[in-house]
Amino acid sequence: MLTGGCLCGRVRYEAAGTPFHETMCHCSMCRRSAGAPLVAWFSVPRSAFRVLAGEIKHFQSSKSCVRGFCATCGTSLTFASEDFPDEIDVTTCSLDDPAAVAPRDHVHTSSRLPWISLCDGLAEYPQARDGR
């Protein structure tokens, strides 16, 4: 069981099952929502994600996508797309142990900032990975 939460501690969650789509996203929307040069994510079935304390606030960031965050401290927590209704993406670094879910690739590298060098040997996808 993976557990995590926001910076201020008001929101706590757990994610059961085996994570999938472990990635680092370089798209401008992820960067802007997190205020970071890239965002590490993993996915779990929506049925395996449960809020234990507090409430995740949601923001419709595009026509089919909703981002979840803590309304108190602003920590980016989740991403959900209507295109994939049975899964939810969770920010890896909101985990209590982010090292437990290592990324497997980089997505949206065509939007990568020029001062970020990718030298980790992970697969790179200019846009979304096949089928995503």
Span 111-131, pLDDT tens digits: 999 999 999 999 999 999 875
Q: What is the pLDDT of residue 129?
A: 83
Which residue ranges make up each domain of the chain? 2-113
CA distance linking residue 90 with residue 79, whole number of Å: 7
> Is residue 132 pLDDT above 60, yes or no?
no
Per-residue pLDDT of 62-112, as tens digits, reads 999 999 999 999 999 999 999 999 999 999 999 999 999 999 999 999 999
State how far the alpha carbon of 131 is from the alpha carbons of 21, 73, 116, in Å.
11, 34, 26
Residue 40 bridge partners (DSSP): 24
Output the CATH code of domain 2-113.
2.170.150.70
